[in-house]
Amino acid sequence: MERMARPLTQSRFMVKADTALDSCATPATQHEDRPSMLYFEKQNLVLFATPKTASTSLEAALAPMADIVLQGDPQIKHCTFHRYKWRLEKFLMIFNESTPETVALIREPEDWLNSWFRFRHGSWLNDTSRSTRGKSFDEFVDAYLSDPKPEFASVGSQAAFLTHPVLNDQVQTLFRYDAMPEFLSWLEARLECSLELPQKNVSPQIDTSLSEQMRFRLRNGCARDYALYDCARSAA
């Protein structure tokens, strides 16, 4: 018997974890970047919220138009492509028979770490193990490349966020963060709307110079991230 797709109702569907799961959040953790994955049923489009790629601003602009917004516990909001393929893709295909299109932004890896370093330099993390105060960017990158990573440098990986290691698969459409105008034009065409992004979670401006030796180590240590970025859509 042929399976029939079920349409979503006109009201938005909010997937939210039990708030008790996040009850241990402190003022320091509450400032961390926790954007949401969004699904647009008419366009059958999933937008992944890669941290430190204006994802909080994108959520603010796009969540009112989305049919499904993942909310609550960070493990739900920060849905990786791996976790999406494991569970959520099958769920979304209840509403649309075809496989959803996936899209995300990716930032140049050094610039991405630069943003994390500056963000964790903020006063809300003072006297916590996640603060980068008193450290140079070289020290931060060195810590990021170590195993295990200290907490202040434990910020994940864009490659791990955007790929599925077992299926050798990845987010279908990737735009470079520095091609934001092209990405917004693509979204406006797909969603048939006009977009203006509010400024959210702007990191403080501090010295973030990186030595050539550490840059060389970063390129070797994050080869998968650089390969993804190099293949992403760039500015015209």
CATH number of the structural domain spanning residue 59 = 3.40.50
Torsion-angle region of residue 25: left (phi > 0), alpha (psi -120 to 50) or beta?
beta
Q: Is 2 within the bounds of a domain?
A: no
Amino acid found at 6: R
The number of domains in the chain is: 1
Half-sphere exposure at residue 164, Cβ-oriented, CA atoms within 13 angstroms: 16
Task: Name the CA dihedral angle for 146, 150, 153, 154, rounded to a multiple of 10 degrees.
Answer: 100
Question: pTM of this prediction?
Answer: 0.85
Kindly report, residue by residue over 151-162, the tens digit of the pLDDT. 999 999 999 999
d(CA 77, CA 93): 19
**Tokens 């140049």 — which residue?**
108
Kindly report, residue by residue over 103-127, the tens digit of the pLDDT. 999 999 999 999 999 999 988 899 9
- Domain range for 201 is 13-231
Q: Is 222 within the bounds of a domain?
A: yes
Half-sphere exposure at residue 99, Cβ-oriented, CA atoms within 13 angstroms: 6
Tokens of 236: 């015209």
